[in-house]
Amino acid sequence: MKKILMIFLLLVFWSCTNDDSKSEALDEVTFLGEVDWIKNFGGAGEDTAQSIVQTSDGGFAVLGFSNSTDGDLQGKTLAVNDYWLLKFDVDENLEWSKTYGGSKDDRGQSVIQTSDGGFTIVGYAMSDDGDGSNNEGFHDNWILRLDASGNIIWEKSFGFSGHDHSYDVIETTDGGFFFAGFLDVTLSEGEGNFGKGTSYLTRHGVGEFWGTKLDASGNLVWRRYFGGTNNDRAHGVVQADDGGFVMAGFSESDDFDISNTKGSYDFWVVKVDENGTMLWEKSLGGTGIEISYDIAKTADGAYAITGNTFSMDTDVSKNNGESDVWVIKIDDNGNLVWEKSFGGMGFDAARGIKTTLDGGFVVAGNSKSSDGDTNENNGENDLWIIKIDASGNLQYQKSIGGSGLDYGFDALETKDGSLILVGETASEDFVGLESKGMTDMVVIKIK
């Protein structure tokens, strides 16, 4: 009996020791804030990354656009912009790369991985040939549904005779899709609404927030536009817990759907229900100019929105210089929870925001500053990545670039706690890179 007890105690001790070792191993995986690697992709022309998504296999996918026909774009025959999608495996190696487009200007803006392991990509396109089946004017909203290898399942184009742009897409809880962007309502002559409850909507002005709901096969379910008499554009969208949609962008208007404006341009946020009926709208900012570019849904059902601000009054409590990165959190009723400005004396702006494992956020943008919240500038614009906690407090920041114009457009935190930043570089002296052309797509991992 004593022997049995002794064996039992030894097993318990070994088990606890083993668990402690596992815990210590997990604790050792810490974020160092050091650049692990930098890679550039492209050809002799202009190449850029606009969006990144982590994939279910542990890799990631990057969407942008390119007008190159050489280098990494071998096989692309026309020197016009095409959507450009790159898939990286779990070891961060390029797995495959594909372009989508026709003979005119087609610019990819947002990529998501769908629940079946495929992808959906959106942007705006002028082509009605090649991969594109239709075009109604200048740019149309163009959405493509792809399988896991990047092959086209279906593609649809939505627009009128003007410049209609799509900037963000989500897969909805019913298996369909919703994308948000901009309707050139002047050239559409008031058209742009479809579905139930559109009779009360009237033409407003220059441009409108434009939200489009599709089913899983790409068929139009409904679409709505919202705005005033001036320029209003939605850049990001998320689905709310109640099934509605929250679109974020900017507004220059102060009439029709828009109330309580603060300045010449405000962050403008619109929530609609699952059928597209407006539930509320909010203008946020100061008496200067605020432009919002992205929105992320938080674990508590609220929303974090980012862009840039020139103000230092009203909703904006601080300004470090010419333009600052501005991050706000609002609740599900559009009430401001907190706001934070980041930057220095130069021009600083954000373009993308995503949640992180600890409940905070990673923000991608660009900076011309070397003071304030920044401590380095390599010349002109640098890619700038910021990590903040759940309350908006700065945890980490880093500027990366060369003497030319370098921009960060999106970022994410990987499952191991590293950060990946994507954008473009026009610098010929970007440390660690050999320039391929006029601008290159750049992908940076920070561990």
- Encode pLDDT of 241-292 as tens digits: 999 999 999 999 999 999 999 999 999 999 999 999 999 999 999 999 999 9
- Name the DSSP letter for residue 302: -
Sequence-distant (6+) residues with CB within 8 A of 78 are 69, 103
- Residue 299 burial (CB count, 10 A): 8
Question: Which residue in 103, 46, 47, 45 sits closest to 77, CA to CA?
Answer: 103
Query: DSSP class of residue 289?
Result: B
User: What is the model's pLDDT at position 204?
Assistant: 78
Predicted confidence (pLDDT) per residue in 137-160, tens digit: 899 999 999 999 999 999 999 999
pTM score, two decimals? Answer: 0.93
395: left (phi over 0), alpha (psi -120 to 50) or beta: alpha
Cα(367)–Cα(100) distance, integer angstroms: 31
Residue recorded with tokens 């600052």: 324
Closest CA to 294 of 281, 284, 303: 303
**Regions of the chain where pLDDT drops below 50:** 1-28, 199-200
Q: What is the pLDDT of residue 22?
A: 34
Strand partners, 269: 248, 282
Cα–Cα distance, 397 to 273 (Å, whole number)? 37
3-state secondary structure 82-150: EEEEEEECCCCCEEEEEEECCCCCEEEEEEEECCCCCEEEEEEECCCCCCCCCCCCCCEEEEEEECCCC
pLDDT of residue 203: 65
Contact between 245 and 238 under an 8 Å Cβ cutoff? The reply is yes
